[in-house]
Structure 1
Amino acid sequence: MINWYGYIELIIQGAVVTIELTVMGSIIAVVMAFIAGLCRVSRYTALRILATAYIEFFRGTSIFVQLFWAYFVLPFVGIELTPLQAGVLALGLNVGAYGAEVVRGAVKAIGREQREACLALNLSRTQAMRHIILPQALPLMLPTFGNNAIELLKGTAVVSLISLSDLTFQAQVVRAQTGSTLIPFATILVLYFLMALAISYVMSWIERRMTRGLDGVRT
């Protein structure tokens, strides 16, 4: 008879690694999304070119290839990363490229009259972006940011290819040791779903809070 308690512990350990990847990868993704997205609407041509190159490269190449480059190729130029660091970097940069277009689109969606009002108030571009444009653009970004975070969560499964003990890797270990496929993979299926549900709830809560704040300012 199979003792499932030990294998449940393996699955839980994998869930912790998956959560770490999702949280840290999301932080990098948000930072890169804002940097690249704001550079895309910059008046400086060099910044727009660099941001566009970053976005097109990471959207146009496979996350598998990016992960392998981070873990296996970077050491040849003196940059050695642990499997966790490589996974966080690859996932963060990849999802950040998609998020950058979300930032750019939300900023562009703010009406021209808002920008003209900033000029009338003699605000600099930085002041206008910080105090007027971004506070209105952020609620527009949040739903897609939530979808991107869920995509990043699902993308964490690729790190099993570099032997990082995430949920998928541990499920494969359990399957190999027990001969059962249904139980471990059904378990991680439920866990992935619950994590995605948690992300959706948190993003909805943040969106409601930010929208209420804006409504209060408008009234």
Structure 2
Amino acid sequence: MTFFDLLPLYLNGAWYTLLITLGGCALAFVIAMTVGIVGSVRNPVLRAAAAVYVEVFRGVAALVLMFWLFYALPLVTGYRVEPVFAAILALGLNVGAYGAENVRGAIKAVPRAQYEATVALNMTPVQRMRMVILPQAWAQMLPTFGNLAIELMKGSAVVSLIAVSDLTFVAQQLRTFSGDTALAFTAALVMYFIIAQVLLFFVRMAERRADRRLGRAPAKPTRRGGRIAAAVKGGGA
């Protein structure tokens, strides 16, 4: 049995992995932006609420949270959560707490002079955040958001423990039935790597776009050739 024979099964597993990754990232992003912005305001009550959320969900294991949502929540509320939704919720809540600190730190890193300029222009707090602070902070947030997205994708491997047919679940099943452990998990590693590279590609595109909007476009690479060599020699003469 070759990898190409198993490809349809791995593509199905990759679909679930991608679905959970994108769903978790979307939830984490909304939570991170909301809690991060709330955590940067002057109101002590709002800041305290944001801090409580961050500390609670950074302090619990995503795997245990997922188990609680899938196994314990139905016992407490009588409502059964679907495995995929439980996985998205657990990963999104956990990663969103880390993302919130990233957002808060990026907002605080915007130079104070920028904030003072918005006050001088008589902007409302919403206008300050939307038009001046967030566009500058966004470029600083993106690299960390990319890392968190990759970590969430890799963390999704544990969803197989609640019977979600993701890549890890498929690899485990094929290892059991075929006995070819090396092929089963090597194929899963390759698929995870491909998904990670796709995520990184889009994050880097977003980083370049944010830099261009702020006038930080990277300088064009210097051409190497005879002219440069001649210039160097001429300068040293």
Q: Scaled by the length of structure 1, what TM-score is found?
A: 0.94
What is the deviation of 1:78?
3.5
Distance 1:123 1:19 in 2: 41
Distance 1:187 1:49 in 2: 46
The residue aligned with 1:114 is: 114
Q: Secondary structure at the match of 2:180?
A: coil
Distance 1:90 1:173 in 2: 24
CA separation of 1:122/1:170 partners in 2, compared to 1, >3 Å: closer, same or farther?
A: same
Deviations 1:46-96 (A, max 9, x none): 221221111111111111111111111221214321000000000111111
The residue aligned with 1:64 is: 63
Deviations 1:140-179 (A, max 9, x none): 0000000000000000001011011000011000000001
The residue aligned with 1:135 is: 135
The residue aligned with 1:125 is: 125
Distance 2:101 2:175 in 1: 40
What is the deviation of 1:6?
5.7
The residue aligned with 1:77 is: 77
The residue aligned with 2:161 is: 161
| Structure 2: tracts of 5 or more residues without a match | 217-237
The residue identity in structure 1 corresponding to 2:170 is: Q
User: What CA RMSD, in Å, does the superposition of the two structures yield over aligned residues?
Assistant: 1.4
Q: Secondary structure at the match of 1:215?
A: coil
2:49 corresponds to 1:27: no
Distance 1:116 1:50 in 2: 26
The residue identity in structure 1 corresponding to 2:119 is: L
Distance 2:110 2:4 in 1: 54
After alignment, is 55-64 or 112-121 more displaced? 55-64
The structure with the larger Rg is: 2
Distance 1:78 1:127 in 2: 44
Distance 1:89 1:106 in 2: 25
The residue aligned with 2:14 is: 15
Distance 2:3 2:132 in 1: 56
What is the deviation of 1:7?
3.4
Instruction: Flag as ranges the 4+ runs of structure 1 deviating above 3 A.
Output: 2-7
Distance 2:7 2:175 in 1: 12
CA separation of 1:79/1:47 partners in 2, compared to 1, >3 Å: closer, same or farther?
A: farther
The residue identity in structure 2 corresponding to 1:164 is: V
The residue aligned with 1:196 is: 196
Higher percent of residues as helix: 1
The residue aligned with 1:177 is: 177
Distance 1:162 1:50 in 2: 31
Q: Secondary structure at the match of 1:118?
A: helix
The residue aligned with 1:210 is: 210
The residue identity in structure 2 corresponding to 1:66 is: L
| Identical pairs, percent | 47
Aligned residues: 215
Q: Secondary structure at the match of 1:190?
A: helix
